[in-house]
Amino acid sequence: MDDFGRRRWLSEASLAGFLYLVIGVASAALAGAATSNHVRFTWRISAFVLSAVVFAAHILHEHFRFRNRAWRTAWHTSVAVAIGAFGLALAANIHDLGSASGYRPRMLISLAAWPLLTAVPALLVALVVAAGLGVRRPAIDDIVRRIPKP
């Protein structure tokens, strides 16, 4: 992979990670300001749904736009998830600094734990999904080739 390709996938993974961070922080703020448990639950579920949409879009983008194999697609998407989780852990540490109880040093564990706890399952899910898309690719390519060109 050339330097441009390496920078491109890393910048796209950073963008997806930033989206995960924004979704997480925004939904936490909205859930914190909610007036009822039902509304709080709705904001939290919406964060999961929006993150799943970003995750699926990233897998499809890697697979169809860049024609990456399953392993590379899974790696790129899981790195994006790890970047987002690290950003959320960093935001949680910063938030804890201003809390009434004071900063808890054990919060530093989240800087390593959250990326690992999210990236490993994301890698496995993306690998299965991308492998499933790869099985269908030859059939789709055959159909596209048969379409008459103007």
Q: Rounded to whole angstroms, how far apart are CA atoms 29 and 47?
A: 11
Q: pTM for the whole thing?
A: 0.84
- At 21-62, the pLDDT tens digits run 999 999 999 999 999 999 999 999 999 999 999 999 999 999
- Helix-, strand-, coil-residue percentages of the chain, each rounded to 5: 85, 0, 15
| Residue extents of the structural domains in the chain | 3-146
Predicted confidence at residue 44, as pLDDT, reads 96
Q: Is the per-residue pLDDT at 145 higher than 80?
A: no
Report the C-alpha gap between 16 and 115 in whole angstroms.
14
Q: Residue 149: pLDDT band by 50, 70, 90 thresholds?
A: low
Q: What is the dihedral of CA 139, 125, 68, 62, to 10 degrees?
A: 100
